[in-house]
Amino acid sequence: MTLVLTELPEAVQEAVARTRERVAALHAELPRNGLVVWTAGNVSERVPRPSAGVPSADAPDAPELFVIKPSGVSYDDLSPETMVVCTLDGEKIADGTPAALSPSSDTAAHAYVYRHMGEVGGVVHTHSTYATAWAARGEEIPCVLTMMADEFGGPIPVGPLAVIGDDSIGQGIVETLRDSRSRAVLMRNHGPFTIGRDARDAVKAAVMCEEVARTVHVSRQLGEPLEVPEALVDSLFERYQNVYGQR
């Protein structure tokens, strides 16, 4: 039976509306940072549940949902109202968008990540040039920059070759990142996927993934880059994740 958004508790409807606004706005960061062309790429975010701030009395049985970009729609035409709402099975609910408006072709991958990584609140996929070039070679990006140690806690790993259409890509993402500190994975012959505590965090990881992919590529044109010692990687990661910035 298809869920109907307007029949869900008001607290859930409000959480969905706020999530749609965030996800729509964050899609603008992908072309702004040169991470996508045409309609490629997507951002999704898990809708907060009662335990994450929605009063449980208002939504005792709130379904698990996430918001994602519609498939093949121009970035210029995206708005909160066009963001598609799905269950964690990857099924679109009756969210007020036209029935013919399908969610991203990567929806099954995003849904699999949300089902199997409860700490993940946002997922991003791009075909950004340099990160995708590393993915085409099936080669991880070595941790040769303190920026990489800060952001990813080590190298950016490569995931398996998986074909779009089912949750195979999601399985590869989860298998690769489950025991890694990296918030980015280069799916072989495909491109980068990033995760985060929310969609903004995952978008930041996508921007940083492309930046280090480009820098390390340029470095290799000059010679063999020097890896950051593992002990220093650990201390840099700890400082950046827990001390750096405003808390």
Per-residue pLDDT reduced to its tens digit, 124-163: 999 999 999 999 999 999 999 999 999 999 999 999 999 9
pLDDT, position 55: 47
Q: What pTM, to 2 d.p., does this model score?
A: 0.95
Separation of CA 206 from chain center: 8
* CA 68 – CA 33 distance, rounded (Å): 19
Would you name the residues annotated as active-site residues? 150, 244
The Cα angle at residue 41 between residues 115 and 200, in degrees rounded to 5:
65
pLDDT, position 72: 97
216-221 own/partner pairs: CB under 8 Å, 24+ apart: 216/141, 216/142, 216/144, 216/145, 217/130, 217/133, 217/134, 219/144
pLDDT, position 205: 98
Phi, psi values for residue 173, rounded to 5°: -60, -50
pLDDT, position 51: 60
pLDDT, position 61: 76
Number of H helices, E strands in the chain: 8, 7
pLDDT, position 58: 59
Q: What is the pLDDT of residues 41-73, one digit of tens each?
A: 999 999 998 664 544 445 657 899 999 999 999
Those residues of the chain that have pLDDT short of 50 are: 52, 54-57
Lookup: tokens for 214: 């480009």
